Structure formats: C-alpha cells, structure tokens
Copies of this chain bind each other. A is one copy, B any other.
Amino acid sequence: MARRNRRTIGPLDLRTQAILRAVIEEYVTTAQPVGSQALVDRYGLGVSSATVRNILAELEIAGLLTHPHTSAGRVPTDAGYRFYVESIVDTVPLPAVEQLMIRHQFGQVEFASEHWFRLAATTLAGLTRSAGLATPAKPRSAHIRRVDLVAVNDRMASLILVLREGAIKQAVVALDEAEPVEQPTLNRVAALLNERITELTAARADAALTDLTAEDSFERLARHVGARIVRILRDYDAAAVEEVFSDGLLNVMGAPEFAHSDKLRQVFSALENRAYLGQLVGDVADAGRIQVFIGGENQPLEMREVSLVLAPYGRAGRAIGVVGVLGPTRMSYPQAIGTVRFVSGLMNELVDHLYA
C-alpha cells in the first residue's frame, strides 16, 4: 500500500538520477522551486543550464517533478520523492556523538519501556526537527501475569492486572454482593484467580473460569472479576495501537509550507483521530522493517502534505511497538531514515535487555 501511487518508471539515466537527486536535495533545504541555473551553480554537473533544462523537462514528463507555474523552478512530486527514497538515497547514519548522547539520555531515565517510548518520540523530534511519534510495545494477544484486588470502599475494588508483556491495566470493579466486601475476601479472590488464570490469554482464561465450581470459595465473586479481566484483555488485544505518543508537533509548524495555520490544523485533527495512524502502525509492525509513507500516499486528505518514516521495535513473539517521525513531504529522508533506524535499533536493544 505504501507503493499504491508508485508508477513503474523505466530505468533512469545515471545523470538524470543525479539531477533528480540534486533537485530534491536543493528543494529540501531551500523550500524554493529549483531552477536550472541554480543546479548548475551549486552542483558541479559539468553541463550547461540548457541541458539541465532538457533533463528537467524529461523528469517532468516522467511525473517525478512539476513546476507550480510557467516561470518557476521545479518541485518534486510525491512520485519523485518515492523514486528518490527507493533508489537514490544513501541513508545517513546518525553521527557517533549523537548516538552516544542519546544512549546516555536513555540511561538517565527510569528503567521501564513506558518511559522509553516517550523519550524515543522526544528524541526523534529533537533530532529531525519534525514531530516524533511512538507507540508502546503491545503484544498480539496478552498474557495475564498477576491479578491484584484492592478495596476502594464497601462495594468497589480497584483491579490491577499485570501482563506478561510488561503492561499494567487498571479498572474499578463494582462488587454486586449482598454483603459489604472486605479486603481479606478480595485477597482470597485474587489468590484464586492468580492460581487459575496466570500466564493465560483472554480466551484461555475465559475457559478456565468456567471450570470454577461451587466448591471454590468466593466462586461468584471470582467469576465476576474474572469476566471483567477477560473483557479488559479482549479490548486490549483488539486495539491495533493502544496509544500514540507524539512530541514536537511544533517543529512541523515551523516549516514554511505550514506557516498559515490551517493546513497544519487539519494534520493535527487527523492525528487526534487515531484511526489512520493505528492502521499505519499495524502495517509497519507486520512488515517488520522501516517504512516511508510519502504525502499523497496517505489516504486521509489532511495527511497528503506530510510524510511519515516509521520503524517497528520489540520482539516478534512478544510485544511490538512503532517509533517514527512525521514531517512535511519536503523533509530530509536520508537523515530521517537514519535517525529512525538508530532509535528503533536502540529500543530493540533495551527491550532485549529487559526480557533477557
């Protein structure tokens, strides 16, 4: 789907490729349409501007460039960026100094994936001067590791669910018992549940609950709480993404193409409605490697002027999350790809270290 809009383009002359690359890189830095003369001046192409003009015209026919009006320079199309990303780019690895700095930052923070993915978003935002995105790692189907019940008052308890994959879920359960329920009772219910449904998935836990008999003390209560647990797990499993944490949306706001706030505002609303992001994240997790979504390749109209670079992290068997970057279509892909690749790699290391 990432390639939905990709046209099959005949193999391009090396020189033509070089010029396409030059146009894109010039445009990425200046945000201005690029003219033939500027290319000759700033990139030692060894040909005259007239020749360059001919090639630019070819590239335009191929659909890789456009110009906004007759007497303006060239601007890459989405297809142009796509071609660039696919076949021209040498991605830029993150400088060693910065790698070290980031490792240090991750060392500083509380040792928990909860904090890591937030830090990842913040770090990516800072490094790429775009918006950083990150989702917590989430398994395809979660396993219960521990159940805990704490009385809130006579008729309600706080239910705490620790999952094997590290996440913690909390809920308040109403206890529809005739008698007020005390903490000791809750302890015994929790113990029973821990005995019967630990290490199980939602489906298996549900099955195990039916095995409870009247001989088990507090059977009724255990069933009630157990049913709630199963519901929580099912909801959790069903959601493709639990939450998308973003940072540095302001950075994107700085770009000249978003100077007039309305477009960006639309992007913001598109982000608030998590549906599309959830889908992308799912795609990336499935693909298992870094993916780039360029401008118009995004279905939502509001997202057609931004690009995303997303990479999965985590371990296939366990939980998987996504980190990445959202920026204007006119972004530095080599740098973004390099940075996202590094951060996702780092997250992998950390998660591995935790579950080793």
Chain A residues with CB under 8 Å of chain B are: 110-112, 114, 145-146, 148, 150, 152-153, 156, 158, 160, 162, 166, 168, 170-172, 174, 249-250, 253-254, 258-261, 264-265, 268-269, 272, 354-356
In the complex, chain B residues whose CB is within 8 Å of the CB of A152 = 166, 354-355
B354 near A153 with CB under 8 A, answer yes
Selected contact of A261 from candidates B112, B160, B260, B354, CB within 8 Å: B260
B145 near A150 with CB under 8 A, answer yes
In the complex, chain B residues whose CB is within 8 Å of the CB of A258 = 261
Selected contact of A168 from candidates B114, B168, B269, CB within 8 Å: B168
Selected contact of A112 from candidates B172, B254, B264, B355, CB within 8 Å: B172
Expressed in whole angstroms, the Cα–Cα distance for A355 and B172 within the complex equals 12
CB<8 Å pairs between A and B, sample of 22: A110-B171, A111-B171, A112-B170, A112-B172, A114-B170, A145-B150, A146-B150, A148-B148, A150-B162, A152-B166, A153-B354, A156-B354, A158-B166, A160-B160, A160-B162, A168-B168, A168-B170, A253-B261, A253-B268, A258-B261, A260-B260, A261-B264
Q: How many copies does the complex hold?
A: 2
Selected contact of A146 from candidates B146, B148, B269, CB within 8 Å: B148
Expressed in whole angstroms, the Cα–Cα distance for A146 and B190 within the complex equals 13
Known: A153-B354, A250-B269, A260-B261. A148 touches B160 (CB 8 A): yes
Of all chain B residues, the one with the shortest Cβ separation from A152 is B354
Expressed in whole angstroms, the Cα–Cα distance for A272 and B261 within the complex equals 19
A153 near B355 with CB under 8 A, answer yes
In the complex, chain B residues whose CB is within 8 Å of the CB of A160 = 148, 160, 162, 168
In the complex, chain B residues whose CB is within 8 Å of the CB of A171 = 110-112
Other A-B contacts than A111-B172, A153-B354, A253-B268, 7 sampled, CB-CB below 8 A, are A112-B172, A145-B150, A156-B354, A253-B261, A253-B265, A261-B261, A261-B264
In the complex, chain B residues whose CB is within 8 Å of the CB of A249 = 268
Expressed in whole angstroms, the Cα–Cα distance for A309 and B111 within the complex equals 37
Q: How far is the CB of A231 from chain B (nearest CB, A)?
A: 11
Expressed in whole angstroms, the Cα–Cα distance for A254 and B265 within the complex equals 9
In the complex, chain B residues whose CB is within 8 Å of the CB of A260 = 259-261
Expressed in whole angstroms, the Cα–Cα distance for A355 and B155 within the complex equals 10
Q: Could you say which of A152, A156, A355 has the most chain B C-beta atoms within 10 Å of its C-beta?
A: A152
B162 near A111 with CB under 8 A, answer no
In the complex, chain B residues whose CB is within 8 Å of the CB of A111 = 156, 171-172, 174
Q: How far is the CB of A114 from chain B (nearest CB, A)?
A: 7
Q: How far is the CB of A60 from chain B (nearest CB, A)?
A: 32
